[in-house]
Structure 1
Amino acid sequence: MDSKSYTPGNRDILYKKIFLSISEIKYLEREIKKFSWLERTLLRKKEFSTMQYHKNKCDSNFFRFINSGQDNQNTLIHILEQLPENHPDRTWLTGFLL
């Protein structure tokens, strides 16, 4: 690893990217859950499909970002280590990554 990966500024940027990605994914999950069965299948099917497509795209972008470099993986591991074991974000993120 190069020395720039340990600079505080670089670490802050990685934290921001990770937290923004997680926030967007969680937001889309909450919005998707608001659709009723009838809306999903008949009334708002196109809107639901669009939102689901966008969430899948966010998921794959997040995985691609995390897997694009060891620094990104180390930052994510560091974030997970800082969260208490019963913290909802830790539970969610661990479940998302498994």
Structure 2
Amino acid sequence: CAGTWVKGTKDGSPREVYLYHVVDNQWSMREYGSQAVVWQTAVNPVVALELMAAGVWSGAGVLGPEALPPRPFLDLLTAYGTPWGLREQ
């Protein structure tokens, strides 16, 4: 499990969430010959590049991840075998 604990405000109210994705180590070793943590690191730019190539993500200049819609990224993570979850803190 790899994740990010995010604290901030949404619509003027405080909010904390833990966004995570899970990869089974046996699966990643069998399918790709790499440990789960390597797979979790490597899959993110692959997913981002696929979204850019398909025109789902676009823009000019240097954009941070918060400038792009997250749902297509999260959905494609699941398609690549790394399901995600969101837990309100």
More helix by share: 1
Q: TM-score, with normalisation over the residues of structure 2?
A: 0.27
Q: Which has the higher contact order (CA 8 A, sep 6+)?
A: 2
More strand by share: 2
Q: TM-score, with normalisation over the residues of structure 1?
A: 0.25
Structure number, greater radius of gyration: 1
